[in-house]
Amino acid sequence: MVHWTDGERKEIDAQWKKQNMTALVKEGLERMFCAYPWTKRYFENRKNFTVAGHAKTVSDALEKAVKNMDNIKAQFTEISKTHAEVLHVDSGSFHLLTDCVIIAMASNRKPHFSPEVHYIWDKFFKVVVAAISKQYH
């Protein structure tokens, strides 16, 4: 289990409510597809796929994690199974996406995205990636 300090919880909760996280996830997806073009291959054959639509899906899943920070793994059990067993998404792509979301957050929160804030979001996303990658092991 991950230990979250009161400050970490406060930062994550406050920024989740304050920021348009769907827009930040969309920017993160766009950055990932540009910087790591091979990550697009999972979406090429999906009918009606849009970056905005997937950003909303990802953002909704992340919101559940924000609201249930003490049990993030449980929030991603089914998503993990689907990505591992049905979609066969490379688990490394989750790290790439969360890194790109952090970059989007930093570029949108200048100068308030301090090293400490970066650490908090990196920690949160590492926990999320571990949870979504669980079925890969």
Q: Which residue blocks in 36-114 are alpha helix, DSSP H?
A: 51-67, 72-75, 77-81, 92-108
pLDDT score at 132: 82
What residues have CB less than 8 Å from 4, skipping those under 6 apart?
69, 70
List the structure tokens of 120.
């908090």
The pLDDT tens digits for 69-97 are 998 888 877 887 776 677 777 777 889 99
The pLDDT tens digits for 32-74 are 999 999 998 878 777 888 999 999 999 999 999 999 999 888 8
Residue 9 has pLDDT above 70, yes or no: yes
pTM as predicted: 0.89
pLDDT score at 84: 66
How many Å apart are CA 15 and CA 36, to the nearest integer? 27
**24 membership: H or E segment, kind and range:** helix 21-35
Measured on CA atoms in the order 137, 75, 40, 106, is the torsion positive or negative?
A: negative
Count Cα atoms within 13 angstroms, Cβ side, for 19. 26
The pLDDT tens digits for 18-32 are 989 999 999 999 999
Domains, the chain: 6-136 (1.10.490.10)
pLDDT score at 82: 76
